[in-house]
Amino acid sequence: QTLTSRTLEGLAEYIKSGKASRIVVMTGAGISTSAGIPDFRSPETGLYANLARLNLPYAEAVFDISFFRENPEPFYTLAHELYPGKYRPTITHSFIRLLHDKGLLLTLFTQNIDCLEREAGVPDDKIVEAHGSFARQSCIECKQPYPEDDIKRHIAAKEIPRCHHCKGLVKPEIVFFGEQLPQAFFENRTLPMHSDLCIVMGTSLTVQPFASLPGATRERTPRVLINKERVGGLGNSADDVLLLGDCDDGVKRLAEACGWLEELEKLWAE
């Protein structure tokens, strides 16, 4: 047994004893809901339950590349609402930054496209944006990069940007259904094997191949799920710890048990 007990205290003891020095964190939309960004699949509040106004054939079409080619408008309506800049990182984002500051973060795998991890100060080279992000955009036809200022202007004006070279549709480099994940995902997907603690937060773990990452840890590596609901079979292994509930709450409890709460709150208030 790696953990003395599968509780918050057992976990804090494991971290404080120095046994966790290569932590991988895996995140999803649930870590940004308290920032005001809806997640996808929560029954009442999730994005997919609130897209009727976009007249989609099915909710996920808004992020489907074939649908986008035919009808880019629903995506751009949403992009107008979700475009980074108006949201502030949550204390959960700051917790990931704290792990980095303490030299404990091996890598963060995120499915989020809101760039809030970076904004919280997690350095670029520690983040694998598995589903891309709004940080870059390009033409879906000729692949030419498209200027950030121009896309910002078009999104703010509720217009659909077109490539300056070939007039093709421009799309932020978010991974749509039907598209490959970025190279960085495949280059780093074995890192969980080299970790000594895996923290999964705010994701339903329903979208592959991301959902297989927690299973890529070694057998006795402790895995922690900090989420409103139990997902992805976490809790089934002997060294899994479940902190079910709100993730801001969960990371605060964990920070407190590690003696880091004051530091975390200070970092978040910066």
Q: Which of 148, 229, 262, 265 binds ligand OAD (CB under 6 A)?
A: 229
Question: What are the residues whose beta carbons fall under 8 Å from the beta carbon of 154, sequence distance 6 or more?
Answer: 160, 161
CB atoms within 10 A of CB 257: 18
Span near ligand OAD by CB under 6 A; candidates 17-25, 135-143, 182-190, 222-230:
222-230
Residue 109 is assigned to a ligand binding site: no
Q: 199 - beta bridge partners?
A: 25, 224
Based on CB atoms, which residue is closest to ligand OAD, 21 or 83? 83
Residue 112 is assigned to a ligand binding site: yes
CB atoms within 10 A of CB 101: 14
**Which residue type does 146 have?**
Y
Q: Which of 131, 154, 164, 194 is catalytic?
A: 131
49 near ligand OAD (CB under 6 A) = no
Q: How many angstroms from the chain centroid is the CA of residue 30?
A: 8
What x/- string results for residues 167 through 206 when contact with ligand OAD is judged by CB under 6 A? --------x--------------------------xxx-x
Q: How many angstroms from the chain centroid is the CA of residue 58?
A: 23
Q: 110 - beta bridge partners?
A: 27, 129
Stretch 53-112 residues interacting with ligand OAD (CB under 6 A): 60, 63, 111
Based on CB atoms, which residue is closest to ligand OAD, 45 or 144? 45
Alpha-carbon separation of residue 51 from 44, 80, 220, 248 (angstroms): 11, 14, 42, 27
122 near ligand OAD (CB under 6 A) = no
Minimal CA–CA distance to 82: which of 124, 61, 107, 51? 51
Minimal CA–CA distance to 89: which of 217, 221, 268? 268
Where are the alpha helices (H) located in 88-190, listed in sequence order?
91-101, 116-119, 148-156, 183-188
User: Is 165 annotated as catalytic?
Assistant: no
Span near ligand OAD by CB under 6 A; candidates 6-14, 29-37, 160-168, 233-241:
29-37
Q: Work out how close the CB of 226 gets to ligand OAD at its nearest, in angstroms, rounded to a whole number.
A: 7
Based on CB atoms, which residue is closest to ligand OAD, 209 or 259? 209
Task: List interacting residues with ligand OAD (CB under 6 A).
Answer: 28-30, 33-34, 39-42, 46, 60, 63, 111, 131, 175, 202-204, 206-207, 227-229, 231, 246-247
Binding residues for NAD(+): 29-33, 39-41, 111-114, 203-204, 227-229, 247
> Which residues are known to be catalytic?
131
